[in-house]
């Protein structure tokens, strides 16, 4: 069974410590969280193993046959091929596109969140530690960033990137641009939280002592302050991951996103919603359910994590 707590292979003592900890206790006591983590682990595993377990490779256009299109779930296509969850308008196996699509969504979501986290934490530490002008500038930038809703920022960055990248390279760059755009629209949350915590820690005596002893500021930040903000950062990151995955889907609805030949879950939903009235419900339904399961399980884990890491809420 997968557990979000760090698992280690060799020292049983660490494992024992984890199993014995308050956090694990609260995990075990919450059946919803256990189910959510199993679902999430299953989805991630399926996405990672997509090339091995998917019945078809939907990202290889030359393997597709248009005449397989619109096959209903659990039935044979006109060409005599069998598809468990049916096919879409290009004759792609829906199950395979979901597996490959989750891969794209997770990759974009995780990368964007990591990017936002690294950027936000770094700037937050810096602002909180240096204070004064540095702090004012960074926090004003965060203000501007928060001024613009994430979706709008991503939309503009994407358009901007389209403009400066030569047409021939845009295709391969699309995913990275998307990660950059989503990441850049979410860093401010991290920065705010980390800055606040840093300001508090900076005042403490052990930090002052370390400073007097001539420890390099970067070391102080990394060794003393960073560990104190891990909890909240983790919570923001989890919620941020769910947000990033949904944001990718929303951007896709606005016509911005990964190429249609390598669809993410969001792109699949955008395509699928065209078939809502025409009867091919499976093209929309299965990707949508997958996205809900994915985002919901991430959100539930984040929820639990927030409560578990908040000592004041622990009973």
User: What is the DSSP code string of 265-300?
Assistant: HHHHHHHHGGGTTTS-HHHHHHHHHHHHHHHHHHHH
- Ranges within 208-237 binding other proteins (CB under 8 A): none
The H or E element containing residue 222 is: none
**One of 1, 13, 214, 312 touching other proteins (CB under 8 A):** 312
Span near other proteins by CB under 8 A; candidates 1-9, 47-55, 117-125, 296-304: 296-304
The most distant pair of C-alpha atoms in the chain lies apart, rounded to whole Å, by 78
* 159 scored as a contact of other proteins (CB under 8 A): yes
Distances (CA, A) of 5 to 61, 239, 263, 276, 308: 40, 17, 31, 40, 12
Look at the block and give the residue holding tokens 């699928």: 272
152 binds other proteins, rule: CB under 8 A: yes
The contacts of residue 243 (CB under 8 Å, 6+ apart) are: 150, 186
Q: Which stretch binds other proteins (CB under 8 A): 8-16, 100-108, 208-216, 274-282?
A: 274-282
List 4, 86, 91, 120, residue binding other proteins (CB under 8 A): 91
In sequence order, the 6+-apart residues with CB closer than 8 A to the CB of 117 are 187, 190, 233, 236, 237, 240
127-146: contacts with other proteins (CB under 8 A): 135-136, 139-140, 143-144, 146
Residue 80 binds to other proteins (criterion: CB under 8 A): no
**Quick one: 32 or 49, whose CB is closer to other proteins?**
32
Minimum CB–partner distance for residue 67 and other proteins (Å):
6
- Indicate whether 260 belongs to the interface with other proteins (CB under 8 A): yes
Q: Please, what is the end-to-end C-alpha distance for the chain in angstroms?
A: 26
Residue 275's Cα: distance from chain center in Å? 27
87 or 111, CB closer to other proteins?
87
Query: Of 189, 198, 238, 264, which lies in the binding site for other proteins, with binding defined by CB under 8 A?
Result: 189
Site for other proteins in 39-68 (CB under 8 A): 60-67
List all residues 6 or more positions away from 231 whose beta carbon is below 8 Å from its beta carbon. 309
Residue 47 Cβ vs other proteins, minimum distance, rounded to whole Å: 17
Least separation in angstroms between CB 313 and other proteins: 6
């Amino acid at each position: 069974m997968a557990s979000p707590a760090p698992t280690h292979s060799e020292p049983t003592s660490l494992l024992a410590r984890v199993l014995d900890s308050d956090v694990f206790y609260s995990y075990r006591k919450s059946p919803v969280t256990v189910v959510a983590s199993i679902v999430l682990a299953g989805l991630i595993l399926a996405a990672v193993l997509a090339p091995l377990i998917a019945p078809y490779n939907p990202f290889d256009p030359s393997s597709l046959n248009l005449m397989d299109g619109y096959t209903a779930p659990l039935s044979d296509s006109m060409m005599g091929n069998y598809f468990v969850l049916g096919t879409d308008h290009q004759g792609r196996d829906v199950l395979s596109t979901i597996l490959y699509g989750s891969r794209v969504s997770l990759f974009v979501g995780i990368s964007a969140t990591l990017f936002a986290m690294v950027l936000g934490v770094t700037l937050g530490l810096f602002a909180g530690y240096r204070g004064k002008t540095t702090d004012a500038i960074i926090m004003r930038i965060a203000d501007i960033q928060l001024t613009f809703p994430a979706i709008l920022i991503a939309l503009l960055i994407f358009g901007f990137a389209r403009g400066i990248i030569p047409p021939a390279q845009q295709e391969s760059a699309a995913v990275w641009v998307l990660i950059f755009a989503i990441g850049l629209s979410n860093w401010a949350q991290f920065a705010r939280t980390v800055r606040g915590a840093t300001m508090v820690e900076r005042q403490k005596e052990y930090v002052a002592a370390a400073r007097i002893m001539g420890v390099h500021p970067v070391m102080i930040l990394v060794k003393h302050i960073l560990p104190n903000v891990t909890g909240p950062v983790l919570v923001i990151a989890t919620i941020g991951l769910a947000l990033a995955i949904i944001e990718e889907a929303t951007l896709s609805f606005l016509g911005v996103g990964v190429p249609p030949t390598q669809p993410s879950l969001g792109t699949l939903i955008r395509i699928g919603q065209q078939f809502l009235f025409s009867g091919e419900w499976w093209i929309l339904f299965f990707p949508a359910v997958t996205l809900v399961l994915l985002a919901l399980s991430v959100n539930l884990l984040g929820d639990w994590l927030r409560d578990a890491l908040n000592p004041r809420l622990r009973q």
